[in-house]
Amino acid sequence: MAFSERVSRLKSSLIREILAAAQRPEVMSFAGGLPAEAMLPKVEWAAMPLSMGQYGMSEGEPALREALAAQARALGVACEASQVLVVSGSQQTLDLAAKLHIDVGTEVMLEAPTYLAALQIFQLFGADCITVPLEADGPDLQQLRARLEQHRPAFIYLIPTFQNPSAVRYSEAKRDAVAALLDEFDVTLIEDEPYRELTFDGGSATPIVSRLKKASWIYTGTVSKTLLPGLRVGYLIASPDLFPHLLRLKQSADLHTNRIGQWQAQQWIGTEQYRSHLSELRDFYRDRRDRFQAALQTHFADIADWNVPQGGLFFWLTLRQPLDTRTLLAAALAADVAFMPGEPFFPEPDQHPGHLRLNFSHIDPARLDEGLKRLAGVVREALAAKAA
């Protein structure tokens, strides 16, 4: 039995293990990034034509591509439907981008922290991950310039709007500055925006790709956070120099995205019904965010710091006395609480101890307080044991 060299980099996924443990109904889970069941919209299937059962185009359904292009243009992204590729969830964009750009040893640039599953797939393909530290309003620009002067990354991967895990939203000024730097150094931008619509204060600056003048780009989104993740419908929009390659890679990966999910997404994108659903969703999650903030204040105010997220699905806590939060997992699960340790969101986990990612969208509000109380108890015990 002969495996590829790649497989030696295929790590056991901590997320998988935590989510599996969190399946037990008694577990209060802050670990995943699941939409609240109550906010999954009721969808109708009766009108779907039988022809959606036939093979489809690798590019995706023409009407859906048009609707997605129109939606992106409304955000300031100059694009045509011909630049839109429907993918099997925006996770697939990362797979296609990795195939397009990464050989063993290829440098890529990421935020620190960054989306865990992006880090995993870029590393799987052998990328050398260079990071830029995130501040509350976006990346540290001096460090970004310094890195770009030292390195020649194949691309930079950014989640500028309610980042997973940090909830950071880039300011207008930093968006402009990042775009100017990427143009200056001619670095391809992959901009991942699953959380754009989940804004609680109404604000969300236009995408960075819309500010580029020269650099190549891939913009990617999904209906998973706003409609139904089970459809597995995401999309990418790419600059014309990248699109044909991504299309062929999509074809070789799975021929095309499932058409039934595409048809359903098409019933929503750009409609009044969708706008109304998004508005309800924002109200619902804003309320959950507020309750979570209140419970955090009660249980974590003396041991951790955090910013109140203005969108997305997560709080990102920083312990005042850092410890490796991975070591808290066993005790947390024993107390029927699940959370995501922060270390795996960095390419060098051991150098970044002391963060916790807590999802606020999925927990039953009736169990929120008890869950955070127990989690804080686990942290306190570990801190006490460390001090002893």
Nearest approach in angstroms of CB 94 to a copy of itself is: 8
- The least distance separating a copy of itself from the CB of residue 55, rounded to whole angstroms, comes to 4
Cα atoms found within 13 Å of the Cα of residue 211, Cβ hemisphere only: 18
Taking CB under 8 A as the criterion, the residue among 32, 270, 349, 354 binding a copy of itself is 32
Using CB under 8 A as the binding criterion, the count of chain residues that bind a copy of itself stands at: 77
Residue 172 CA, chain-centre distance (Å), reads 20
Q: Does 218 bind a copy of itself (CB under 8 A)?
A: no
Does position 272 bind a copy of itself by CB under 8 A?
no
| Nearest CB to a copy of itself, comparing residues 88 and 325 | 88
Q: Show the binding pattern over residues 326-365: x = contacts a copy of itself (CB under 8 A), - = does not.
A: ----------------------------------------
302 counts as binding a copy of itself under rule CB under 8 A: no
Structure tokens at 343: 């270390």
Stretch near a copy of itself under the rule CB under 8 A, chosen from 32-40, 137-145, 199-207, 281-289: 32-40
Return the number of the residue (216 or 310) whose C-beta is nearest a copy of itself.
Answer: 216
Q: Smallest distance from the beta carbon of 370 to a copy of itself, in angstroms? A: 24
User: Of the listed pieces 82-90, 160-168, 280-288, 369-377, which binds a copy of itself according to CB under 8 A?
Assistant: 82-90
What minimum distance in Å lies between the beta carbon of 248 and a copy of itself?
A: 5
Q: Does 150 bind a copy of itself (CB under 8 A)?
A: no
Contacts of 383 (CB under 8 A, 6+ apart): 303, 319, 321, 323
Per CB under 8 A, 366 contacts a copy of itself: no
Q: Which of 67, 69, 84, 89 binds a copy of itself (CB under 8 A)?
A: 89
Residue 43 touches a copy of itself, criterion: CB under 8 A: yes
Give me the amino acid identity at 41: P
Residue 63 binds a copy of itself (CB under 8 A): no
Q: Which of 26, 37, 149, 302 binds a copy of itself (CB under 8 A)?
A: 37
Judged by CB under 8 A, which of 26, 46, 142, 272 binds a copy of itself?
A: 46
Closer to a copy of itself by CB, 99 or 286: give it.
Answer: 99
Binding residues among 221-260 for a copy of itself as defined by CB under 8 A: 224, 227-233, 241-242, 245, 248-249, 251-260
Looking at 21, 70, 75, 124, which residue binds a copy of itself (CB under 8 A)? 124
* 60 dihedral zone (left: phi>0; alpha: psi -120 to 50; beta): left
254 or 305: CB nearest a copy of itself: 254
Write out the binding residues for a copy of itself, residues 194-213 only, by CB under 8 A. Answer: none
- Residue 273 makes contact with a copy of itself by CB under 8 A: no
Cα–Cα distance measured from residue 360 to residue 363, given in angstroms and rounded to the nearest whole number: 6
